[in-house]
Chain A
Amino acid sequence: MISQQKGDCLVTMSDLFQDYSVAAERTGAYDEMFTPGQQARKSYGQVAGALRELSLADVTARADSMARTFLDRGVTFDFAGEERPFPLDIVPRVIPADEWTVLEKGVAQRVRALEAFLNDVYDKMTVVTDGVIPRQLVTTSAHFHRQVHGFEPAGGVRVHISGIDVVRDAAGTFRVLEDNVRVPSGVSYVLENRRAMAKGLPEAFGQQLIRPVEEYPRRLLSALRKTAPSGVDDPTVVVLTPGVFNSAYFEHTLLAGLMGVELVEGRDLICRGNRVYMRTTAGEQRVDVIYKRIDDEFLDPLQFRADSMLGCPGLVNAARAGGVTIANAVGNGVADDKLVYSYVPDLIRYYLNEEPVIANVDTFRLEEKEAREEVLDRLAELVVKPVDGSGGKGLVIGPDASKDELEALRKRVIADPRGWIAQPVLQLSTVPTLSGDRFGPRHVDLRPFAVNDGDKVWVLPGGLTRVALKEGSLIVNSSQGGGSKDTWVLADSPQVPVEALPRPAITVRERVSVWPVESNWRDSQKEQQQ
């Protein structure tokens, strides 16, 4: 046990944190909760205090009850046809107010730049003519869809919802790891985790101000409605899901439910005369805004994969004619191509005339001969990723890979250098995470979510912190044994409206209506007669 001297972070940790500092040192990463001397950081004071009071039995009982609640509520993701609860760890990830201000600014800046880039790419491509980015790079991207070239989507927004993945490197600096502007998922866990934590570790909320996350669905709905095709007074919004077997189906139902809109499948929709309708019990009803949760390739069999039964034929033409808003816009994938990612700082300078607030992770572009040669020499110490992958698919971590795997990778990279990027292995920051009978440091990333309504980019204060539950693992994806943590953004000052309305005094109603049997007048009369 380690005790520290006084101060607001004085902490004598219980046995649950035995050996934590040794393990933390071994990872060589930045720890979110403790400074190297195992002293809790200021932002974690309250959490550390709450955990100190708990015994192992308490912590396990609470963790079990949280897991049970998730299963009962159906907070699950579908993995290989089986519903699994998304493991939520009991220690939250806390972000102090000043750090959040920077993150928020950086995320919004990135979204604005990507929005401008997409508008340009599907229009005049000035970014190419001005020599910022090679034309070939754009046109060879797997997600550059010529089917949507040359029109501005109804409502004028392309990146309605985005999730920008950031990580903290060993020095404690935030860096953007990738952009998700197609179908970013995970926000449902942000909402559910907060509810679960309020019941699981109420002590830790204590006196500090944690910024609420529950306004997300409201913000999302208002942004979607705002970007409806012009001339529609009261737009009908729907969420389009591929169906119950999609891994994020829970999220689709939660968002549709919280926004109070219909959750439709492709077979519920019909396109006629460049308008979209849904089949209801009262006949067909016009749909104005579609929050699309299926991949572009499956959206419209007339334009993309003709064998897809998940979408609805005619959607892309309807969008082109301005009859429907699709969020996020079709073709956004070109912006989260990982090779384009390496140019985003330049794009920010080009479109916004600003310096990037959050830096990228250093990235080797394998199409450049020198970079490729260097990477092929150092394959065993780098991370190599496919440019259009998501969910950690196809990613190879050099130090963890076997010789055969590296050989196979080398061949694939040489065969298709455009398809890959390489980055140094980042020791993602760690947060204490319950593992067996104690807490151990586990690597985390962070996905803040941003909603763009055309005028303003709003960043949800919080975001999804994913954690790799295996010791030393750097892969946080839920499909590969990752869990999540509730993410708390601390507020600077109490957010009280300037003019709080005087609250009316509560009148206490003291009279309680009852009918006591013993005071029944007949009963009491009898008593008197006796």
Chain B
Amino acid sequence: MLSRIAESLFWIGRYVERADGTARILDVHLERLNHLPMEEQRSVAQELLAVMGARAQSEDFGLPELLNALAYDKQSATSIAGSLGAARENARRARETVSSGLWESLNTTYYGLNQHRKDVVGTYRFCNWVLERTAMVSGLADTTVSHDESWQFLVLGRSLERADMTARMLSTRDVLSAGMSWVNMLRCAGAYESFLRTRRAAFGDQHAAEFLLLDRLFPRSIVYALRDADECLAMLDPSAQRVGFINDARRIVGQARTFLEFHRTDDLMSELPEHMERVQKAVSQASDAISRKYFNQADELAWVGEVS
């Protein structure tokens, strides 16, 4: 398939997952933010924005500004509306490759972005709606697109972004350590029920963090997402090598995953920020490596002499 199309698909996967992750994080934190006193609300909002990878533009960046920056700002690549818009723009460029179901669900989502009230209550509904729409997009991607190369790129983008999003989600706990409970954190990832059923008695911070970071069976855990990404990379480049990896992306993703999986520690909680930093860095490096390998375009048109 065309490199340009592959790149579009990869980014559709990333952007949709980013919208999904951001909606989850916003939804859970909004509840808490609302109760805080004005001054604190402001500083927490700024920190939360920083965790999501953006910097506050002005001093009086408060709750309304946070909502705009994370949910409604169409120009920003970190907001939900911006991500969904970018996903749709990418799908528009790869339209003949994706199924019409997938394209239409992204297109109608894009047109639906404006139909929400932008206050706090409206944002809850908006987040909910976004989760529905992204679930629909992923479902259609899984059921109406052949699981060939194009789908692998999409899933690759999705898994990498998912690992990144879960890492950010776990980092937000620092921001709100005053009272942000692990119950909320698990709810945020949709993992609450799964966690209760697996860990029953052993309920505590340590266990919840472990679950979201290391669980091998829960699809939104970092280890699971990285393994998905690794499998996609393996499918995309099936050349079996006896020694080492030529493919940078596989090396980076594999290293990040195995580091987490085989790391032994008694005090996960204190190491958590460091782990999260490492995961986010690995994701961005892997993304660069994938671009270099698969999406490389000639920088400029060059004239090539005739072969006689």
Which residues of A come within 8 Å of B, CB atoms?
71-74, 244, 253-254, 256-257, 261-265, 267-268, 270-274, 278-282, 301-302, 309, 312-314, 317
Contacts and interface: CB of A to CB of B under 8 A. Distances in A.
Name the prevailing secondary structure of the A interface residues: mixed
A273 B104 contact: no
Given A72-B107, A273-B306, A314-B303, A257 B96 contact: yes
A74 B298 contact: no
Interface stretch (B1-9, B130-138, B215-223): B1-9
A262 B100 contact: no
Given A74-B95, A253-B96, A257-B96, A281 B294 contact: yes
6 contacts: A74-B95, A274-B306, A279-B298, A281-B2, A301-B301, A313-B303
Given A244-B92, A244-B93, A301-B301, A280 B1 contact: yes
B297 A72 contact: no
A254 B100 CA distance: 10
B6 A281 contact: yes
B2 A278 contact: yes
B3 A281 contact: yes
A265 B303 CA distance: 17
A65 to B, nearest CB: 14
Contacts of B303: 302, 313-314
A317 B306 contact: yes
Given A72-B107, A257-B97, A312-B301, 4 more contacts: A72-B108, A262-B2, A267-B301, A282-B1
Name the prevailing secondary structure of the B interface residues: helix
Contact of B111 (A72, A273, A279, A301): A72
Contacts of A253: 92, 95-96
Interface string B127-160: 0000000000000000000000100000000000
B307 interface: yes
A72 B149 contact: no
Given A72-B108, A312-B301, A280 B306 contact: no
Contacts of A313: 301-303
Interface string B101-138: 00110011001000000000000000000000000000
A15 B297 CA distance: 61
Given A279-B2, A281-B3, A73 B104 contact: yes
Contact of A267 (B298, B304, B307): B298
Contacts of A301: 301
A254 B97 CA distance: 10
A271 B95 CA distance: 25
Nearest to A274: B306
Contacts of A72: 104, 107-108, 111
B2 A280 contact: yes
Q: How large is the interface on B (under 10, 10 to 19, 20 to 34, 35 or more residues)?
A: 20 to 34
A302 B305 CA distance: 12
B2 to A, nearest CB: 5
Contacts of B104: 72-74
Nearest to A275: B307
B111 A71 contact: yes
A446 B3 CA distance: 39
Nearest to A318: B306
A273 B1 contact: no
Contact of A279 (B3, B89, B236): B3
A282 B306 CA distance: 24
A74 B108 CA distance: 9
Nearest to B297: A267
A301 B301 CA distance: 10
Contacts of A273: 304, 306-307
A282 B304 CA distance: 21
Nearest to A83: B92
A271 B298 contact: no
A430 B74 CA distance: 44
What 4 A-B pairs come out closest when comparing CB atoms? A257-B96, A273-B307, A256-B96, A253-B95
Nearest to B111: A71
A313 B306 CA distance: 12
B301 A309 contact: yes
Nearest to A283: B3
A253 to B, nearest CB: 4
A281 B306 contact: no
Contacts of B96: 253-254, 256-257, 261-263
A187 B215 CA distance: 53
A261 B304 CA distance: 26
A510 B196 CA distance: 43
Contact of A257 (B4, B95, B108, B236): B95
Contacts of A74: 92, 95, 103-104, 107
Nearest to B5: A262
A265 B294 CA distance: 17
A74 B92 CA distance: 9
Nearest to A259: B96
Interface in B207-243: 236
Contacts of A257: 95-97, 100
Contacts of A317: 306
A273 B97 CA distance: 29
A66 to B, nearest CB: 15
Interface in B271-308: 294, 297-298, 301-304, 306-307
B250 to A, nearest CB: 15
Contacts of A312: 301
A279 B2 CA distance: 6
Contact of B297 (A244, A274, A279): A279
| Residue of B3, B97, B302 with most partner-chain A CB within 10 A | B3
Nearest to B103: A74
Interface string B1-39: 111111000000000000000000000000000000000
Contact of B2 (A71, A254, A268, A314): A268
Contacts of A244: 89, 92-93
Contacts of A264: 2
Contact of B107 (A73, A270, A274): A73
B3 A268 contact: yes
Nearest to B7: A281
A81 to B, nearest CB: 13
A314 B302 CA distance: 10
